[in-house]
Amino acid sequence: MKILLVIDVQEKYLNYYDADLLPRINAKIAVANSAGDQVFYVRNIGIHGDNDSYALAKDLLIVSDHIYEKKFPSAFTNDSFVKELKIQNVTELEIIGVDGNICIKKTCMDAANAGYKVTLNLQCTAARNEMIFEKTLKELRNAGVIITSKSCYCINRWCSIANGLRSQPEIFIYQSIIQDSIEYFVPLSLIFTVK
């Protein structure tokens, strides 16, 4: 069984990253949920424990009760999380969230070392330091983590349709195609309309 694992998408951290990150994450969650994949969330609560500043992002799409806490970078430091993976017979994890150089990296490494098939989706992952992140990606590839950026989830604020313009934002899934060193985004399907 495959799960989508959402790491540290918290109000406290989002200001450090591109404003489009959360909509891409929400779109990916919607796609996974509609495909029947379980979605697990893990949030950092700091070494001293939970407080209001460590809340999940208020606009994060929550589609399951699988919400776990951690005090250390890896999600695998939470025994309840590890136990639930075994109960659910999980064999594959697609990981998204922040930060690519710390919690994402450590969780990916621990998952790969535990024998899981691990995919890191770069369209829905961010890191504060891009230079270090390039080195992190090499380490993850060497550990057997699959790095993907094939699909992109975008919001079109004003969507042109046959009968004119719609005022509601819509989320589409796009396929990223690279040809002659130019990246093109081809719309594949409408995921949902944001009300």
- Domain extents in the chain: 2-149, 150-195
Q: What angle do CA 127, 148, 185 make, to 5 degrees?
A: 95
- The SS3 call for residue 187 is strand
Sheet holding 170-179, edge to edge: 151-156, 170-179, 182-193
Give mean pLDDT, residues 133-147. Answer: 95
pLDDT of residue 94: 97
How close are the terminal C-alpha atoms of the chain, in Å? Answer: 32
Kindly report, residue by residue over 142-174, the tens digit of the pLDDT.
999 999 874 444 443 333 333 344 444 455 555
- Which range is most confident: 26-40, 76-90, 123-137? 76-90
Q: Is 132 exposed, middle or buried (0-12, 13-18, 19+ CB in 10 A)?
A: middle
Element (H, E) at 12: helix 11-14
> What distances in angstroms separate CA 187 from CA 8, 44, 61, 155, 169, one per listed residue?
29, 34, 22, 11, 15
How far apart are the C-alpha atoms of 40 and 188, rounded to whole Å?
26
CATH superfamily membership of 2-149: Isochorismatase-like (3.40.50.850)
